[in-house]
Copies of this chain bind each other. A is one copy, B any other.
Amino acid sequence: MSDPSTKDLSFLPSIKSIAVIGASKKRNYFFLRTFHDSFKGRLYAIKPGAEKIDEFPDVDVYERVSDIPSNEPVDFVFIEIPREHVVEVIKDCGKKGVKLAAIFSAGFNDAGTEEGRQLQIELLRAVSEAKTIRIIGPNGMGLYYPRLGIRWRVSLPLDHGSVGVMAQSGGLCNLMIHGLTSEGMPISKGFSIGNAADINAIDVINYFKDDPETSIIVVYLEGLPPGRGTQLVKILQGCKKPVIVVKGGKTAVGSKAVKSHTATLAGDVAIWEAAMHQAGVMLVDTFEDILGVGKFVAMIGQKPIKNACLLTLSGGYGVVCSDVLASHDIRLPEFSITIKESLAHILSASGTSLNNPVDVGSFIYDVDKLEAILHAVLNDPAIDGVIFEIVPIYIAAQMRGDPLDVALPAMLRRIKQQHDKPVVAIIEDIGYDAIRQGLKRSLRELNIPVYPDIAQIARTIRFINKIHIMAK
């Protein structure tokens, strides 16, 4: 059930018409062009004079939203006009019964001036008086909803999936949308909430919590409305979906940058962190952590790997990885007697001993042997999952046997069919782009997330493990 004090956004999937307010020839109709390019519903342009725009003959143009005939409802407006006209436009939208306005215009609280602050107060008063309207912004990009063709840039992907993203900043939203989509995790809806005068982080998270189109929630937070921290924690505690949060302003410098960015107070870090962890949130540090943790959760879920088996193609790299994993509290336990016994015939035949990490070097082209090792390891209750380094060089240099870029995914498919434990892969970004991308695609289909280095894997697993330690 929704928290009654949060704002209702459940009408979003029914958006059927959009008006772009402020379509300007000088800016080459940037946003009108953008919505025209992909939005599947009815589109209007609002501009002084209200004459037809040559470039968009199929778009009806009006001087005000309320001039649009009453039998043509407008669900969503995108506002890109000078700040001093925004309040009157919102009042006009209220008359028309518009449900949602994205206000791109800046110069409100973000200006850091008394004038800007007053303007934001007036804006909120207009919203409150209009009753039916909700606003995203000002100073934000608004709504990204690829299934409906709603986006704020033509370059944003139209693939749609089940990751909900939110940030104050449009730029960071762009990074998250592109990054997650290109890693195979397309977006359900994205919110760039800017100053968050009306719709704020809590509203969006609460919406995602119950949104059937969203299964993973990714949020960049700079701060919250004063005194609302407890409410957020309560909402998060009731949230069954994985939530990944990057908190901006954790250091003094970052906190200053937050203030300059959206005039938000970053708040006390220690309290924040404790509350987030308690609510089972994965609190990560950087943009890359979002992608790293995101793909783990999307493909594997929130399964911890406290005891791993590591396979590398060189013993030396195995040592380096062992050190990195150990410093992230991920153990590489010695193989049990059970594992060793079940592999005795292979081991005696090859004359080598089998340790964890496994030095695969000499038998990388022996896929049957790799399969036997993986089976034995994943059958052992002492091992939570496998980290497997695949080096594109060896695939490029293969001279005998079945091509490894086919045989390896085929073998891993059999493994994944029989075992439910996490398998993650390292493929270093050291040239061989075509091989790397091809393998990455094959493994993604098997729900094996691929990372370019051990550091990102170790960070990711530590974030996942942490929620199992922190949460009750």
Q: B175, B286, B433, B454: which contacts A391 (Cβ < 8 A)?
A: B175
B251 close to A359 (CB less than 8 A): no
B182 close to A431 (CB less than 8 A): yes
User: Is the CB of A396 closer than 8 A to any CB of chain B?
Assistant: yes
Having A155-B397, A178-B432, A260-B355, one finds 10 other A-B pairs with CB under 8 Å, namely A168-B316, A171-B315, A171-B316, A174-B314, A174-B391, A250-B323, A251-B322, A254-B320, A261-B319, A262-B315
- CB contacts (< 8 Å) of A359 on chain B: these are 260-261
- CB contacts (< 8 Å) of A323 on chain B: these are 248-251, 253-254, 285
Q: B174, B246, B322, B393: which contacts A257 (Cβ < 8 A)?
A: B322
A254 close to B326 (CB less than 8 A): yes
Task: Name, among A172, A178, A316, A396, the residue most crowded by chain B CB atoms within 10 Å (CB to CB).
Answer: A316
B317 close to A175 (CB less than 8 A): yes
User: Is the CB of A318 closer than 8 A to any CB of chain B?
Assistant: yes
B433 close to A320 (CB less than 8 A): no
A169 close to B315 (CB less than 8 A): yes
- CB contacts (< 8 Å) of A112 on chain B: these are 353
A313 close to B171 (CB less than 8 A): yes
> Which residues 11-59 of A sit at the B interface, judged by CB distance below 8 A?
28, 30
A251 close to B355 (CB less than 8 A): no
| Copies of this chain per assembly | 2
C-alpha gap A355/B396 in the complex (Å): 48
> Which residues 246-286 of A sit at the B interface, judged by CB distance below 8 A?
246, 248-254, 256-258, 260-262, 285-286
- CB contacts (< 8 Å) of A262 on chain B: these are 315
User: Is the CB of A303 closer than 8 A to any CB of chain B?
Assistant: no
C-alpha gap A433/B361 in the complex (Å): 31
Kindly provide the distance from the CB of A4 to the nearest chain B CB, expressed in whole angstroms. 30
User: Is the CB of A332 closer than 8 A to any CB of chain B?
Assistant: yes
Sort chain A's interface into a size bin: 35 or more
Task: Name, among A170, A322, A359, A454, the residue most crowded by chain B CB atoms within 10 Å (CB to CB).
Answer: A322
> Which residues 179-195 of A sit at the B interface, judged by CB distance below 8 A?
179, 181-182
Q: CB within 8 Å of B: which residues of A?
A: 28, 30, 112, 153-155, 167-172, 174-175, 178-179, 181-182, 220, 222, 246, 248-254, 256-258, 260-262, 285-288, 312-320, 322-327, 331-332, 353, 355, 357, 359, 361, 391, 393, 396-397, 399-400, 428-433, 452-455
Kindly provide the distance from the CB of A307 to the nearest chain B CB, expressed in whole angstroms. 11
10 A-B residue pairs with Cβ-Cβ distance under 8 Å, sorted by A, are A28-B399, A170-B314, A171-B312, A174-B393, A179-B428, A220-B320, A246-B320, A286-B320, A287-B320, A433-B433
B154 close to A326 (CB less than 8 A): no
C-alpha gap A355/B317 in the complex (Å): 42
Q: B253, B400, B428: which contacts A322 (Cβ < 8 A)?
A: B253
C-alpha gap A317/B355 in the complex (Å): 42
C-alpha gap A179/B436 in the complex (Å): 14
| Shortest Cβ distance from A400 into B: residue | B28
Q: Which 10 A-B pairs have the closest CB atoms?
A: A171-B314, A169-B316, A172-B316, A248-B319, A251-B326, A254-B323, A261-B315, A182-B431, A155-B397, A179-B430
- CB contacts (< 8 Å) of A452 on chain B: these are 288
| Shortest Cβ distance from A317 into B: residue | B172
- CB contacts (< 8 Å) of A261 on chain B: these are 315-316, 318-319, 359
A361 close to B454 (CB less than 8 A): no
C-alpha gap A429/B318 in the complex (Å): 26
- CB contacts (< 8 Å) of A172 on chain B: these are 314, 316-317, 320
Kindly provide the distance from the CB of A385 to the nearest chain B CB, expressed in whole angstroms. 16
